[in-house]
Amino acid sequence: MPCPFVAAPSRRHVAGATRYAVLILVALLAAAGGVIWKIQHDGQEDSVPDIAVVETGDIHRDTAPTTTQGLLQRASAAMSRQHLVAPAGDNAMEWYLRVLQQEPRNRAAQDALREIFPFAATQTEQAMGQADAAEVTRQIDLLARADPSNYTPTLLRAKLQAQQQVADDQQRRDQQLAMAASRPAHAATPATAPVEKPLVVSPATPVAPPAISNAPTPPPAPAPAVATHAAPVPAEPVGETAPVLVRRIEPYYPADARRSRRTGWVDVRFVVNADGSVSRASVIDADPKNVFDRAALSAVERWQFTPGTRNGTPTASELRQRIEFHL
C-alpha cells in the first residue's frame, strides 16, 4: 500500500511546474505579438505613396483627381493661394478647364472662369517683367482657352512682342557700344593736322635802281586770293522718339458699376517721366462722370514706359489715353 505522505508533495511539485510553464508561454506569446506588430507597422510606413514637392512649396499627391468634385476642390485651393495662371499644372484656370473637359456645361467652372479672368490677365501682365517669354506665352494661351472671344490675350501678345522688340533694340545698342569701346585708341583719334612751318623771309639782294622813265607807272597787281578751307563740323544728331508702353495695369471694375451693368470711358492725361514712370495723371473727360475716374487714374499711375528721347537723351513726355470699361 503506497504511503500518502509521499504522494501529496509530488502533486504540489507538478502544479508549481505547470504554473511556471504557463507564465513562460504567455511571455513568449507577448513577445511574438510585439514582433508581428512591428513588422506590420514597418510595412505600413513603406507602403505610404511618394509625395512630390514642387518649387512653389506646395505638396501634391502623385495622382491627380479624376472626379469633377476633386477637380473643383483643387481649383478652389489654387484660388485661395492666388495661383490663377501659375505655376504650370497647378493653377485655378487649368483645374477649371479640366472640369469643363469632363462636363462642358458645368456651371460652377464656367462662372469661376468668368470671374477670375480679369485678375488672371493682370497676373499675366505683371509676369511680363518677371518671368521669361515662354512662361508668359503659356499664360496668354491659357487665357485664350478660358475665353476665346475675349480680345485681352491678343493685346497681351502684342504688348509682349513690343517689350521683346525694345529689349532686342537695347541689346543691339549695347553691342554696338561694346564694339566701339573695344576698337584701338589710334583708330578713334582724328588725324592731327600738319603743323605749318613758319615763313622765313631772307634779306633781299641789293638791286640797281631802275632807269627813270617818263612812262606812267602801272598800278600794282592785286595780291592773289588765298583759299581758306574750313574743317567740316559734324552735325549733331537731331530726333525725337515717343514713349513705348512696356507694362500696363488693367483698371479694376467698380463694384457698383458692375452690379448695375454700367459701361463707359475715361480720357486721362499724364506725364511719362525720363525714368519711364507716370506722374501728374488727371481726368480730361469721362462718360459717365465720376464713375470710373478713380479706377482709371489708379491703373494709369502704375503703368511703365520706355521713356521718349530727344537727341538720344531720355526726356519727359505728355500723353493722353482713353480707357474704356465694358462688361
What is the mean pLDDT of the segment spanning 252-278?
94
320, 267 Cβ separation under 8 angstroms: yes
pLDDT at residue 23, as a whole number: 76
For residue 28 the three cell numbers come to: 513568449
Question: What residue ranges do the domains of the chain occupy?
Answer: 59-165, 240-325
Cα–Cα dist 93/138, whole Å: 12
Most confident residue range from 28-37, 53-62, 287-296 = 287-296
Cα–Cα dist 85/92, whole Å: 7
pLDDT at 199 over 50: no
- Helices 107-127 and 133-146 cross at an angle (nearest 10°) of 150
pLDDT at 316 over 90: yes
Q: Which of 168 and 2 is assigned the larger pLDDT?
A: 168
pLDDT at residue 265, as a whole number: 96
- The fold for domain 240-325 equals TolA/TonB C-terminal domain (3.30.2420)
Q: CA–CA distance from 158 to each of 95, 128, 163, 245, 307 (Å)?
A: 27, 12, 9, 11, 19
pLDDT at 186 over 90: no
pLDDT at 48 over 70: no
Most confident residue range from 183-197, 235-249, 295-309 = 295-309
pLDDT at residue 219, as a whole number: 57
Q: CA–CA distance from 247 to each of 83, 162, 301, 302 (Å)?
A: 21, 10, 11, 8
Q: Which of 144 and 210 is assigned the larger pLDDT?
A: 144
Q: Which of 64 and 302 is assigned the larger pLDDT?
A: 302
Min mean pLDDT across 143-157, 177-191, 277-291 is at 177-191
pLDDT at 100 over 60: yes
- The fold for domain 59-165 equals 1.25.40
What is the mean pLDDT of the segment spanning 305-317?
93
Domains 59-165 and 240-325 share a fold: no
**286 beta partners:** 266
pLDDT at 227 over 60: no
What is the mean pLDDT of the segment spanning 269-274?
95
Min mean pLDDT across 20-29, 233-242, 270-279, 280-289 is at 233-242
pLDDT at residue 60, as a whole number: 47
Q: CA–CA distance from 219 to each of 127, 214, 225, 254 (Å)?
A: 89, 15, 17, 97
Q: Phi-psi region for residue 67, left (φ > 0), alpha (ψ -120 to 50) or beta? A: beta
**278 beta partners:** 272
pLDDT at residue 49, as a whole number: 41
What is the mean pLDDT of the segment spanning 178-187?
70
Q: Residues 262, 76, 156, 167: is their CA dihedral positive or negative?
A: positive
What is the mean pLDDT of the segment spanning 191-209?
43
63 alpha carbon, distance to own chain's centre: 31
pLDDT per position as a tens digit, 58-90: 444 456 788 999 999 999 999 999 999 999 989
- Cite the DSSP H helix spans in the chain: 4-46, 68-80, 92-102, 107-127, 133-146, 152-181, 185-188, 255-259, 293-300
Min mean pLDDT across 48-52, 95-99, 103-107, 297-301 is at 48-52
